[in-house]
Structure 1
Amino acid sequence: MAEAHTTFRAARDLLLAQRTDYDAALAGYEPPRPEHFNWALDWFDAVAATPQTGPRTALWVIEEDGTQARVTYAEMAQRSAQVAAWLRSLGVRRGDRVLLMLGNQVELWETMLAATKLGAVIIPATTLLTAEDIVDRIERGAVRHVVAGAAHTGRFAQVPGDYTRIAVGEAGNGWTAYGESRSFTGEFIPDGPTRGDDTLLLYFTSGTTAQPKLVEHTHLSYPVGHLSTMYWVGLQPGDVHLNISSPGWAKHAWSSFFAPWNAEATILVVNQARFDAPGLLEAMATAQVSTFCAPPTVYRMLIQQDLAAWRDRLSLREMVGAGEPLNPEVIEQVRAALGITVRDGFGQTETTAQVGNTPGQEVVPGSMGRPLPGYDVVLLDPATGQERTQPGEEGELCLRLTGPGGRPVGLMVGYHGDRERTAESMRDGAYHTGDVASRDERGWITYVGRADDVFKASDYRISPFELESVLIEHPAVAEAAVVPSPDPTRLAVPKAYVVLAPGHEPTAETARDILAYCREHLAPYKRIRRIEFAELPKTISGKIRRVELRGREQQAHGTGQDPTSRASAQEFWETDLT
């Protein structure tokens, strides 16, 4: 609809114009809230029809063997309309739930746009799901249609249900070949307007602590909400944007779908069976990537390379990190090598980017930045709900639901089918993220940790992230996770699980050296007193499962009474090394 397009463009253009003026962007931005809005029709198709954007590459996929696929905005608009008409011929209707289980391939973007045009509800799914996971998604998501890669259709043999089965690739028995859509000649005509508050996406979270939650987003909350993400990344029309993320998770929609196409940029995908830093850097240089987004794990692997040797070949303007907090040491190493400051940001599946270090602004070491346009961020006492306003005070990071800005556009509707959990997260006039942070006197927010991860040792509150940031400064440490380990005297002591960098061995001498470094750089009450060399358990979206590590500690050390017990031969205590 023309009015929806106009209001969306006006809000988008304001953020582009104030890309490096944070105060002006914050003051001038008013999120559009049209009654009717279908982002695929009212935004994507509209810009694809312009002479400026239509011929521009919308999607660029580079495979590991060097083959490439490039699709323009105009081609993507036409093709997604064809897919939408074809899906409708197979019975996909407005409001139907569509499970989408594809890798980073052109058909993923075609189907996302097509389903949006139809008004269907998309349930993105990672290709790593087991048959048991799929059963849960089919049942709780009330799925009526499945689009999956041919390599993964075998898992559905164990998944009962009367749902349409569409295979991308060679279709087996009972599956319709997606390739048939290419010869479909029926015209796509929308069956009516799409309400902005209609459901667009249902995301199963990665489940770091319990059964995955089912997060509900609308045709406004992610498409419009991700204007904040576009602003944080610093995207501009014509950029080539590379995001390292797997389909099926919200971060993929953040930075490999909505944010770059909101900016009329090119989405670049570099497919690798296993992460290959030199191969990734080569592709970035060849494609002249201008903006880059990756989780901290990727940055920690990139700094193992001689990044400085790539400085003159790369065309990067912006580098950002999200998913988990980015350690200051990693930021400093990238800055020293490439001359670019990696800007941290914060958000959740439940929201778009809420807090971030934005282009052109001071980056305070260790801080994840300031509230992004469209969000009113407050720190609340978890017990009383009172706002923490003094500089340096810790509180739960929350989003105000009332006030001049109203409810944030980028916030989820709630947890689908779980009123109790939704009410708990939206209590006291604020959305509660479950993350603890502090704010300095100028408004910069620093991440402390998940509320469940912060712990006490000798009656002092310990932030795992703070200790992990010191650990990662040591050249032998590639990754680290800190959890409480039971101790009879102190209740608990900080213990670090460490993944070693290449060239370092899991020996007592290595442990001694790391612990000595921590003693020099941490206050005595924060001292890491135990260390274990081990792989870190992660969710299938790549987040560290500290809850599992805490469980290991309880199982291994229980009451903490036995000073001789060790979880493994690769666990070392301070007392072992003195």
Structure 2
Amino acid sequence: MVDSRAYEEFRTARDHLLEHRGDLDGARDFPRPRAERFNWALDWFDREAAGNEAIGLRVVDLDADGATLAETALSFAELSRRSDRVAGWLDGLGVRRGDHVLLLLGNQVELWETMLAAIKLGAVVIPASTLLSPDDLADRVDRGAVRHVVAQSTLAERFAGIGGDWTRIAVGAATEGSAGWLDYADADRHSGAFRPRGETLAEDPMLLYFTSGTTSSPKLVQHTHRSYPVGHLSTMYWIGLRPGDVHLNVSSPGWAKHAWSNFFAPWNAGAEILIVNQPRFAAKPLLDAMVRHGVTSFCAPPTVWRMLVLEDLAQWKVPLRELVGAGEPLNPEVIERVRDAWGILLRDGFGQTETTAQIGNPPGLRVKPGSMGLPLPGYRIALVDPLTGAEVTGSGAEGELCLPLDSEPLGLMTGYQDDPARQAEATAGGFYHTGDVAFRDDDGYITYVGRTDDVFKSSDYRISPFELESVLVEHPAVAEAAVVPSPDPVRLSVPKAYLVLAPGHRPDADTARSVLAFARERLAPYKRVRRVEFAELPKTVSGKIRRVELRGREHELHGGPEAPTRGPAEFWEQDFPRETP
């Protein structure tokens, strides 16, 4: 039941973007696929995979020392055949169009097989992180109306207390916790014949994502067979992927960035997906693997980049062409260190679970240090005054980053499932509201300022945490930084930095003095960091810093009427009076 029109429309759009590399204006004129019926796995992946013996997926498992424990490489054709077998087997188990299927799998071949199979069936996939607790999973099974679960056998015990009538499928050797679960290996014995039950509409739901919840409980984001596969043409363009590339993305399953860069964007381009699994992240073995497997395109979150630049990257001769980062803004210091080592510009981009890549620095265009870049094909960006709700136009504008709904944003979700209040708030005034504040310069480049709830005032001056953090990480002792307002009786609040130190540095007064002096020399007086504390940063399971926890801690420490208390490794600029102007 391959829809030839859907395939041709998608292929034409994809090829237009590939042909307009370095020509963003021309790329924005790409013909949008608008077929009423579209199933990406059937109409695009299987069609491209037919007879295609090029490697589509390579999964490499390393031990703690970086030695290869196992390696599996599958061609596009084999992935198509294997996912057909899984789809036929799941169909026999009663998985039907519209059923919600929760996946609790690591970076293993079965994840890609099951994703493709579920899309072919028209089922709705709920990706879940292997780090989730039993309570987290119970919430997803309940709010996600889950009908089927495919999980690692070693994780099956986390579902022990979760009742309900849902199919249980375990991947891997049987464990005590997976007793009574169906064995995924039985799919290998299926004949392989698969015929979908009916047609897939492009607007049918395909994916449900629970957001990472940096400031609130997770929202349930719904995407369709159009919004995500077609939407990720913008992501493919931003990364700069080409047919035949070897693309490595450091990301854990269960989060949107994994689907961005480990599923849709590479396979939209016809690139190989390389997965490097490590028992614990270590920069050197990862870099060795990049050289060994000829990585041409690499994406990692800023946390990983900040660890990578602690190494002498120039020692690794990787055949890289494209480097990108996403998840949180990239600090200019990290970008410069990478360029000094490899001669390649690390490019920033912006998007959300609710969208695909909205803004970015695509290859071939001028990059402005510190800027997220320009609106990508399929997106028009508006900056909106949070007080009036009106769009702020012209150069020098600053406001909430929004997507005008009448512009038909390419990869925008259909909405927050079963949450009309949140949906109404997110789409008020004819815009989709991202909750992020940004600045637009004379050339239209957009620079991230911060979350609407992260930006704060000190002595009536508006402070962007990201700007201060970018300065702090330039100090050789600082690996990561998170700036939040710390209550102050005179200034209302003052900037305080929570710092994670680079190896070889001690969390003592000498380090604090050095960091405060370093920041003071590089920041305007009203932006001065006045307090620092050495501590681990609280993060979501997807790796984003939970500043909401740090703000709460500051109110506990310093928000009361009594004399403020100090954190266990906290230092104030008053501690160094001779150095305080």
Give the shorter-chain TM-score range.
over 0.9
Distance in 2 separating the partners of 1:524 and 1:173:
63
Tell me if the contact between 1:321 and 1:343 (Cα under 8 Å) persists in the aligned partners: yes
Q: TM-score, normalising length from structure 1?
A: 0.97
Q: Show the counterpart of 2:438.
A: 437
Counterpart for residue 47 of structure 1 = 48
Q: Which residue pairs with 1:183 in the alignment?
A: 189
Q: Who is 2:16 aligned against?
A: 14
Do the aligned partners of 2:494 and 2:529 also contact (CA within 8 Å) in 1?
Answer: yes
The 2-side partners of 1:5 and 1:298 are apart by 36
Q: Secondary structure at the match of 1:12?
A: helix
Structure 1 residue 383: deviation in Å? 1.2
Q: Are residues 533 and 572 of structure 1, via their aligned partners in 2, closer, same or farther at CA, if it must alter by over 3 Å? A: same
Which residue of the partner structure matches residue 308 of structure 2? 302
Unaligned ranges ≥5, structure 2: none
Q: Is the 8 A contact 2:58 2:272 kept in 1?
A: yes
Aligned position for 1:270? 276
Partners of 1:33 and 1:383 lie apart in 2 by: 36
Aligned mates of 1:433, 1:340 — CA distance in 2: 30
Tell me how far 1:560 sits from its aligned partner.
6.7
- 1:56 alignment partner in structure 2: 54
Moved more, 14-23 or 98-107: 14-23
Give, in whole Å, the separation in 2 of the partners of 1:304 and 1:157: 42
Q: Any idea what SS the aligned residue of 1:423 has?
A: helix
Task: Tell me the amino acid that sits aligned with residue 69 of structure 1.
Answer: T
Instruction: Tell me whether 1:509 sits opposite 2:510 in the alignment.
Output: yes
1:214 equivalent in structure 2: 220
User: 2:153 aligned with 1:154, yes or no?
Assistant: no
Q: Once the two structures are aligned, what percentage of the paired residues are identical?
A: 66
- Of residues 97, 100, 104, the one that matches 1:101 is 104
Matched, 1:399 2:403: yes
Q: Which amino acid aligns with 1:59?
A: L
Task: Give the structure 2 partner of residue 4 of structure 1.
Answer: 6
Counterpart for residue 526 of structure 1: 527
Aligned equivalents of 1:275, 1:385: Cα separation in 2: 44
Q: Contact 1:487–1:561 at 8 Å: present in 2 too?
A: no
Match of 1:454 in 2: 455
Task: Please state whether the residue corresponding to 1:153 is helix, strand or coil.
Answer: helix
Counterpart secondary structure, 1:146: strand
Superposition deviation, residue 559 in structure 1 = 3.9
Gapped regions of structure 1 (runs ≥ 5): none
TM-fit CA distance, 1:186: 5.5
State whether structure 2 residue 128 is matched by structure 1 residue 119.
Answer: no
Cα distance between partner residues in 2 of 1:561 and 1:160: 49
After superposing on structure 2, the runs of 4+ consecutive aligned residues of structure 1 that deviate more than 3 Å are: none
Q: Structure 1 CA distance, aligned partners of 2:288 and 2:561? A: 50
**Structure 2 counterparts to residues 540-559 of structure 1, below 5 A:** 540-559=541-560
Query: What CA distance in whole angstroms lies between the structure 2 residues aligned with 1:480 and 1:450?
Result: 16
**Residue 325 of structure 2 is aligned with which of 297, 321, 324?**
321
Number of residue pairs matched by the alignment? 567
Instruction: Encode CA deviations 1:149-170: one digit per residue, 9 max, x unaligned.
Output: 0110011111111110000012
Q: Distance in 2 between matches of 1:356 and 1:495?
A: 30
The structure 1 residue matched to 2:259, chosen from 242, 246, 253, is 253
Query: What are the superposed Cα offsets for residues 438-489 of structure 1, whole Å, 9 maximum, x if unpaired?
Result: 0001000000000000000000000000000000000000000000000000
User: What's the counterpart of residue 287 of structure 1?
Assistant: 293
Q: Residue in 2 aligned with 1:338?
A: 342
Q: Match of 1:158, SS?
A: coil
3-state DSSP of counterpart to 1:367: coil
Normalised to the residue count of structure 2, the TM-score between the two structures is 0.97
Residue 150 of structure 2 aligns to a residue whose secondary structure is strand
Give, in whole Å, the separation in 2 of the partners of 1:490 and 1:408.
Answer: 41
Supply the distance in 1 between the matched residues of 2:345 and 2:306 (Cα, whole angstroms): 15
Q: Secondary structure at the match of 1:6?
A: helix
Corresponding residue of 1:239: 245
Tell me by how many angstroms 1:252 deviates. Answer: 0.3
State the shift of 1:349 in Å: 0.1
Q: Which residue of 2 aligns with 1:576?
A: 575
State the one-letter code of the partner of 2:574: T
Q: C-alpha separation between the residues in 1 aligned to 2:547 and 2:517?
A: 24
Report the 3-state secondary structure (helix = DSSP H, G, I; strand = E; otherwise coil) of the residue aligned with 1:368: coil
* Cα distance in 2, alignment partners of residues 493 and 561 from structure 1: 18
Query: Which residue among 346, 355, 360 is the counterpart of 2:359?
Result: 355
Superposed CA RMSD in Å reads 0.9
Partner of 1:538: 539
Report the CA distance between 1:561 and its aligned residue.
5.8
Q: Give the drift of 1:391.
A: 2.3
Distance of 1:193 and 1:473 partners within structure 2 = 54
Does 60-69 or 288-297 show the bigger shift? 60-69
Question: In structure 2, what is the Cα distance between the partners aligned to 1:30 and 1:500?
Answer: 49
Deviation by residue 1:501-555 (Cα, 9 ceiling, x = unmatched): 0000001010000000001000000000000000000000000000000000000
SS at the partner of 2:41? Answer: helix
* Superposed displacement of residue 409, structure 1: 2.7
CA distance in 2 between partners of 1:356 and 1:533 (Å): 33
Q: Map of 1:132-147 to 2, 5 A cutoff?
A: 132-147=135-150
The 10-residue stretch of structure 1 (163-172 or 549-558) with the greater mean CA deviation from structure 2? 163-172
Q: Is the 8 A contact 2:12 2:31 kept in 1?
A: no
Contact kept? 1:101, 1:147, Cα under 8 Å: yes
* Aligned mates of 1:441, 1:497 — CA distance in 2: 34
Correspondence 1:367 to 2:404: no
